[in-house]
Amino acid sequence: MLIPKNATVFVPVYALHHTYYPDPETYNPDRFLDQPELSVDYVASKNRDHYAFGAGRRVYAGIHLAERTLWRTIAQILWGFNIEQAVEENGDKIDLDEDAYTETLSWPPDPFQVRFIPRSEKHARVMRDASSEAEEYLGQWE
């Protein structure tokens, strides 16, 4: 395919993620079992499991750091909190609409509400301390 000079090319990440696997709307982490390596190991492969960090020559240069940071952050959140449905003032649970997306280039989810409940006071203290340390460290660049 001839791509004209100065053309803008977008990788249709949403479309790729919804055509690569059968039944993409079903939560099924088992579909990733055949790809145990890090994302960077599959960047140049036809056997990629996702395109979250881009594709081709313009793949995100910080893919190594980004993937490890995401993994660590998600692991810490799951370690420290129970994630539960938000509740109204009267105590009724607020339902999540799993199909609420904004149809744009990247299809981000619409705003939604959840509650992060610390698993214990010790968990809460560890998370608060880590947050304070991060704020203090990152404050030098404000």
At 58, the amino acid letter reads R
Question: What is the predicted pLDDT for the residue at 105?
Answer: 75
pTM over 0.85: no
| pLDDT tens sequence across 80-137 | 999 999 999 999 999 999 889 888 877 789 999 999 999 999 999 999 999 999 999 9
Whole-angstrom distance, CA of residue 118 vs CA of residue 125: 9
Give domain limits for the chain: 8-61, 81-142
Three-state SS at 35:
coil
| pLDDT tens sequence across 38-76 | 888 888 887 788 888 888 777 889 999 999 999 999 999
DSSP for residue 52: T
Indicate the pairing of strand 114-118 with strand 81-85.
Answer: antiparallel
Question: What is the predicted pLDDT for the residue at 104?
Answer: 82
Q: Which helix (H) or strand (E) holds 84?
A: strand 81-85
